[in-house]
């Protein structure tokens, strides 16, 4: 059985207007997302801004309350848990944030930040907390002597290391990584990605790795889910996705990535227009407004999520 099973997850944000905050519509940020995550596996979630990938991550941890759906983690449906039970389960399901600096309380020392989850969940002595914090800092490549320093005294890459140490504090089973490297410089990005990979092997962790950069996602993931306007349009193994992309959106996304090799000259698929507003998603297949292969049926019917075999699934009428 999968460690984490997400079924038909939906999050609609009401759009309110005027003095009386009347609901005038809803933004379908996440509109029926399903996937599963095995123990020790990394599932990449990729998509452009506004596709709902960040909301999915937040909904899994219930940092945002989902509208409907199921999130089964370790055999329990998180969406039915009460406050205290949920609080306890957060020890084993963690998150790393995109902007590492803003995820650290500026008025707390690094030691206090990393100790917070330990103090929340375990009843241990001060010395034990200290030892654990020192161990964690060392593990993520920080100097334990710097425990008493404040976040603003560290660099961007170190901020993310602190965030990782905090997430690892209670030996979690899975971590949602929400754009963990997109705010970092290229050379630091590699350090953090290597660290995440090392820790994963060591602790047999599962990751949900959310990012907009397909090359980063493909690099770290075993399987990749491509999202567009609140829905998953394709899931495949990392290799399959690169070698045999099926959905026209995945194909466009792949061809749009600039490759750092001037010898490679590819014919790019350049999509027209912008991502439509999730306030008024297009009928049928939500990609049809930009799709180079659009057919009559695409504007009318929402495509089913078809299994092409080998775990490769795609939501497209033409495949």
Partner 1 sequence: MGESTTANFHHVRTMRKDSRLRRNWAKLRRNKAALFGGALLLIYLVTAVLAPVLFPGNPSAPNLAKSLERPSFDNPLGTDELGRSILGRIIYGSRVSLLIAVGVVSVGLLVGVPLGLISGYYGGKVDFGIQRVTDMMLAFPGFLLALALVAVLGVGLKNTVISIGISMVPIYIRLVRGCVLSVREEVYVEAARAVGTRDPGILMRHILPNVMVPITVQTSLGMGTAILFAAGLGFLGVGVQPPTPEWGAMLGSGRVYLFNSPHVATFPGVAIFLSVLSFNLLGDGLRDALDPRFKL
Partner 2 sequence: MNTDNEPLLAIRNLHTCFHVFEGVVNAVDGVDLEVPHGETVGLVGESGCGKSVTALSILRLLRCPPAEIQGQVIFHGRNLLDLDREGIRKIRGNAISMIFQEPMTSLNPVLTIGEQIAEAVRLHQGMSRREAWRWAEEMLRMVQIPGARARAREYPHKLSGGMRQRAMIAMALSCNPQLLLADEPTTALDVTIQAQIMSLMSNLKEEFGTSILLITHDLGVIAEMASRVIVMYAGKVVEEAPVKELFKEPLHPYTKGLLGSVPVIGRKAQTGRRLHEIPGTVPSLLEMPRGCRFHPRCPKMMDVCSGEEPPTIHMGGDRRVCCWLFAKT
Residues that bind partner 1 (CB under 8 A): 61, 63, 87-88, 90-91, 94-95, 97, 99, 101-108, 116-117, 120-121, 149-150, 152-153, 155, 163, 166-167, 169-170
For position 267 contacting partner 2 by CB under 8 A, the verdict is no
Alpha helices by DSSP H, the chain: 53-60, 83-89, 110-121, 126-139, 156-168, 186-203, 214-220, 238-243, 248-256
Q: Is 84 in the site for partner 2 (CB under 8 A)?
A: no
Give me the least distance between CB of 64 and partner 1, in Å please.
9
Nearer to partner 2, 115 or 162 (CB): 162
Dihedral angle sign, alpha carbons of residues 170, 178, 234, 190 = negative
The dihedral formed by the CA atoms of 235, 240, 244 and 249, expressed in degrees to the nearest 10 = 30
Residue 212 binding partner 2, by CB under 8 A: yes
Distances (CA, A) of 102 to 66, 152, 156: 24, 10, 11
Of 247, 259, 240, which Cα lies nearest the Cα of 292?
247
Residue 123 neighbours by CB under 8 Å, 6+ apart:
none
Q: Where are the beta strands (DSSP E) in 2-140?
A: 4-17, 22-37, 42-46, 68-73, 76-77, 93-96
| Tokens linked to 91 | 């020890």
Is 275 among the residues that bind partner 2 (CB under 8 A)? yes
Q: Decide whether 147 or 252 has the Cβ nearer to partner 2.
A: 252
Q: Contact between 29 and partner 2 (CB under 8 A)?
A: no
**Residues in the chain, overall count:** 319
Looking at 140-246, list the stretches that DSSP marks H as alpha helix, in order from N- to C-terminal side: 156-168, 186-203, 214-220, 238-243
168 binds partner 2 (CB under 8 A): no
Q: Compute how many other C-beta atoms are within 10 angstroms of the C-beta atom of residue 293.
A: 12
Residues 228-257 binding partner 2 (CB under 8 A) are 238-239, 242-243, 252-257
Instruction: In whole angstroms, give the CA distance from residue 208 to residue 2.
Output: 13
Does residue number 75 form part of the binding site for partner 2 (CB under 8 A)? no
- Binding partner of residue 257 among partner 2, partner 1, none, CB cut-off 5 to 8 Å per kind: partner 2
Largest CA distance in the chain: 68
The token pair at 175 is 């971590």
CB atoms within 10 A of CB 35: 19
131 binds, among partner 2, partner 1, none (CB under 5 to 8 A by kind): none
Q: How far is the CB of 6 from partner 2 (least distance, A)?
A: 24
The reply on whether position 188 binds partner 2 by CB under 8 A is: yes
Nearer Cβ to partner 1 (183/233): 183
Which one of partner 2, partner 1, none is in contact with 185 (Cβ closer than 5 to 8 A by kind)?
partner 2
> What minimum distance in Å lies between the beta carbon of 279 and partner 2?
13
Cβ 74 to partner 1, closest distance in Å? 16
Instruction: Name the binder of 94 from partner 2, partner 1, none, CB < 5-8 A by kind.
Output: partner 1
Contact window for partner 2 (CB under 8 A) among 54-62, 84-92, 189-197, 309-317: 189-197
CB of 239 to partner 2, least distance (A): 7
Q: What residue ranges bind partner 2 (CB under 8 A)?
A: 48-49, 155, 157-158, 185-191, 193-194, 197, 212-216, 218-220, 238-239, 242-243, 252-263, 268, 270-271, 273-275
């Amino acid at each position: 059985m999968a460690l984490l099973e997400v079924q038909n997850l939906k999050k609609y944000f009401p759009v309110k207007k005027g003095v009386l905050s009347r609901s005038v519509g809803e933004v379908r940020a996440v509109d029926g997302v399903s996937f599963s995550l095995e123990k020790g596996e990394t599932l990449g979630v990729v998509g452009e801004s506004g596709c709902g990938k960040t909301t999915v991550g937040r909904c899994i941890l219930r940092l945002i309350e989902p509208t409907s759906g199921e999130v089964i983690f370790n055999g329990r449906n998180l969406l039915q848990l009460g406050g205290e039970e949920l609080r306890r389960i957060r020890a084993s399901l963690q998150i790393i944030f995109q902007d590492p600096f803003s995820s650290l309380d500026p008025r707390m020392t690094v030691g206090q930040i990393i100790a917070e989850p330990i103090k929340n969940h375990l009843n241990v002595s001060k010395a034990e907390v200290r030892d654990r914090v020192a161990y964690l800092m060392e593990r993520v490549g920080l100097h334990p002597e710097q425990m008493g320093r404040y976040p603003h005294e560290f660099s961007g890459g170190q901020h993310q290391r602190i965030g990782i140490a905090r997430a690892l504090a209670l030996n979690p089973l899975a971590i949602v990584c929400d754009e963990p490297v997109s705010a970092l410089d290229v050379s630091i990005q590699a350090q953090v990605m290597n660290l995440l990979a090392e820790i994963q092997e060591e602790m047999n962790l599962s990751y949900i790795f959310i990012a907009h950069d397909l090359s980063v996602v493909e690099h770290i993931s075993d399987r990749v889910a491509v999202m567009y306007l609140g829905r998953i349009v394709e899931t495949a193994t990392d290799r399959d996705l690169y070698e045999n992309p099926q959905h026209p959106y995945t194909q466009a996304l792949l061809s749009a990535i600039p490759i750092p090799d001037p010898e490679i000259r590819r014919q790019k698929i350049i999509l027209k227009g912008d991502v439509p507003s999730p306030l008024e998603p297009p009928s049928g297949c939500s990609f049809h407004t930009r799709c180079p292969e659009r057919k009559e049926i695409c504007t009318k019917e929402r495509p089913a999520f078809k299994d092409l075999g080998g775990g490769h699934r795609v939501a497209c009428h033409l495949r």
